[in-house]
């Protein structure tokens, strides 16, 4: 096993520390904290005119470096622009320090929605990847990339991408917190639960959940008013079965302003479901998402919100009511372990099956 070190830009130092803690639980890494813990390896300096320089404080020559970073809302309160510039400087500094492989671990890639090509607009995801690889990145790891087509941007002769399906973390949480045994799965979940897409484009994600639990699928089809930005004219709810008295789970890869979720929840409410819940991987929560979710909760339309902590979930008041951030550091540690030991990632990539998991809850721990 080649020597490696886990580091982070200022935006994800606490998260990286949790990953180190999880990684040290594996026998092959036990007792290696001083060797692999480089959370404070980098220092970001500022010149008087505002320009940045990142310094590598100790030698990393020949060692693989796993660099955790985020350009979304983060624990250090750094803006998108500053976080990206710090990341680019960090990769450059590590390359100049003759690190081995430079593995950028960006749990949520904030520019992932900028992946559509046309003649007169930049493509943010392509710019991000090209900048990183030209500076010396060898490998990028992320959770639940916004679109499968985004991976076609990657040139596998120059760098590698690992897109880990973090939706499985949320499915595991549902099993642990709300189902717990096969009897509940068969007698409560399958006849009474339904998973709903935010729009027609999100049908794949909702269908994935429905298949994992053997539950019903609901598809929301939005009609937009293209004469006004971000305006939804109507929503058609497509379901093979009545929604009355059912527990509904709206599934998405991210919650940004919560505009789509709000419109859908209000469209679902007249169908008189028992409860409506919102479940997503990335809790971006741009304004006015928190306000919208609070209003929906206060009106009794939204029961709970379940997300992962790929984006920092600490808010100023008021907080999102009944929100559960599901930890992802353990999954990050599993990914790093597989990369460093060159082991298979098949267990992380295979479809989740609630019945199999409930029979053997150690599915993610082996």
What is the assigned CATH class of domain 167-326? Answer: alpha beta
Residues 6+ away with beta carbon under 8 Å from 178:
184
Tens of pLDDT, residues 163-217: 999 999 999 999 999 999 999 999 999 999 999 998 877 899 999 999 999 999 9
**What integer is the mean pLDDT of 257-280?**
95
Inform me whether the pLDDT recorded for 147 exceeds 90. Answer: no
The confidence score (pLDDT) of residue 116 equals 77
The confidence score (pLDDT) of residue 224 equals 56
Inform me whether the pLDDT recorded for 332 exceeds 70. Answer: yes
Coil, strand or helix: which one is 350?
A: coil
CB 102 within 8 A of CB 139: yes
β-sheet bridge partners, residue 193: 247
User: What are the two backbone dihedrals, phi and then psi, of residue 259, each rounded to the nearest 5 degrees?
Assistant: -65, -45
Mean pLDDT of the chain: 91
CB 2 within 8 A of CB 64: yes
The confidence score (pLDDT) of residue 363 equals 45
149 pLDDT tier (thresholds 50, 70, 90): confident
Find tokens 């939005």 and name the residue: 222
Coil, strand or helix: which one is 81?
A: helix
With residue 340 as reference, give the H or E element that holds it: helix 329-341
Inform me whether the pLDDT recorded for 93 exceeds 70. Answer: yes
pLDDT higher for 303 or 221? 303
The confidence score (pLDDT) of residue 229 equals 45
**What integer is the mean pLDDT of 145-155?**
81
**Same topology for domains 4-165+330-347 and 167-326, yes or no?**
yes
The confidence score (pLDDT) of residue 365 equals 45
**What integer is the mean pLDDT of 357-361?**
83
Tell me the percentage of the chain whose pLDDT exceeds 70: 93
The confidence score (pLDDT) of residue 238 equals 79
Inform me whether the pLDDT recorded for 362 exceeds 90. Answer: no
Inform me whether the pLDDT recorded for 113 exceeds 60. Answer: yes
DSSP state, residue 160: E
The confidence score (pLDDT) of residue 103 equals 98
**What integer is the mean pLDDT of 259-285?**
95
Q: Is the dihedral of CA 353, 358, 364, 366 positive or negative?
A: negative
The confidence score (pLDDT) of residue 314 equals 73
Second CATH level (architecture) for the domain 4-165+330-347: 3-Layer(aba) Sandwich (3.40)
The total of other beta-carbon atoms located within 10 Å of residue 184's CB is 14
Residue-range domain boundaries for the chain? 4-165+330-347, 167-326
pLDDT higher for 119 or 87? 87
316 pLDDT tier (thresholds 50, 70, 90): low
The confidence score (pLDDT) of residue 357 equals 93
pTM: 0.92
CA distances to 204, 278, 292 from 297, rounded to whole Å, are 27, 11, 9
121 pLDDT tier (thresholds 50, 70, 90): confident
* Percent composition of the chain: helix, strand, coil (DSSP 3-state, to 5): 40, 25, 40
The confidence score (pLDDT) of residue 361 equals 63
Tens of pLDDT, residues 210-243: 999 999 999 988 765 545 444 455 678 878 788 9
Radius of gyration, alpha carbons of the chain: 21
């Amino acid at each position: 096993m080649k020597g490696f070190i886990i580091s982070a830009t200022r935006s994800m130092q606490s998260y990286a520390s949790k990953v180190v803690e999880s990684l040290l639980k594996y026998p092959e890494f036990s007792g290696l904290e001083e060797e692999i813990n480089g959370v404070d390896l980098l220092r970001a300096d500022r010149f008087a005119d505002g320009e940045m320089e990142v310094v590598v404080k100790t030698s990393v020559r020949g060692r693989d470096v796993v660099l955790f970073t985020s350009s979304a809302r983060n624990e250090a309160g750094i803006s998108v622009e500053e976080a990206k510039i710090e990341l680019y400087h960090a990769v450059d500094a590590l390359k100049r320090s003759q690190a081995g492989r430079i593995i950028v671990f960006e749990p949520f890639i904030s520019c992932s929605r900028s992946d559509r090509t046309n003649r007169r607009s930049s493509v943010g995801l392509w710019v991000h990847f090209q900048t990183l690889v030209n500076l010396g990145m060898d490998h990028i790891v992320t959770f639940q990339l916004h679109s499968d087509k985004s991976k076609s941007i990657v040139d596998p002769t120059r760098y590698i991408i690992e897109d880990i399906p973090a939706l499985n973390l949320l499915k595991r949480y549902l099993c642990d917190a709300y189902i717990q045994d096969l009897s509940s799965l068969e007698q409560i979940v399958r006849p009474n639960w339904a998973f709903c897409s935010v729009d027609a484009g999100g049908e794949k994600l909702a269908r994935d959940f429905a298949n994992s639990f053997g539950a019903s699928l609901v598809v929301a089809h939005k009609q937009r008013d293209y004469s006004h930005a971000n305006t939804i004219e109507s929503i058609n709810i497509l379901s093979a079965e009545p929604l009355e008295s059912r527990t509904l789970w709206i599934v998405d890869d991210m919650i940004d302003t919560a505009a789509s979720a709000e419109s859908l929840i209000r469209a679902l409410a007249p169908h008189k479901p028992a409860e409506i819940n919102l479940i997503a991987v990335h809790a971006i929560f741009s304004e006015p998402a928190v306000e919208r979710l609070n209003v929906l909760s206060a009106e009794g339309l939204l029961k709970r919100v379940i997300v992962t902590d790929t984006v920092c979930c600490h808010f100023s008041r008021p907080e999102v009511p009944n929100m559960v951030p599901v930890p992802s550091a353990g999954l990050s540690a599993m990914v790093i372990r597989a990369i460093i030991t060159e082991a298979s990632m098949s267990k992380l990539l295979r479809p989740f099956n609630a019945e199999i998991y409930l029979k053997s809850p150690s599915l993610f721990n082996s």
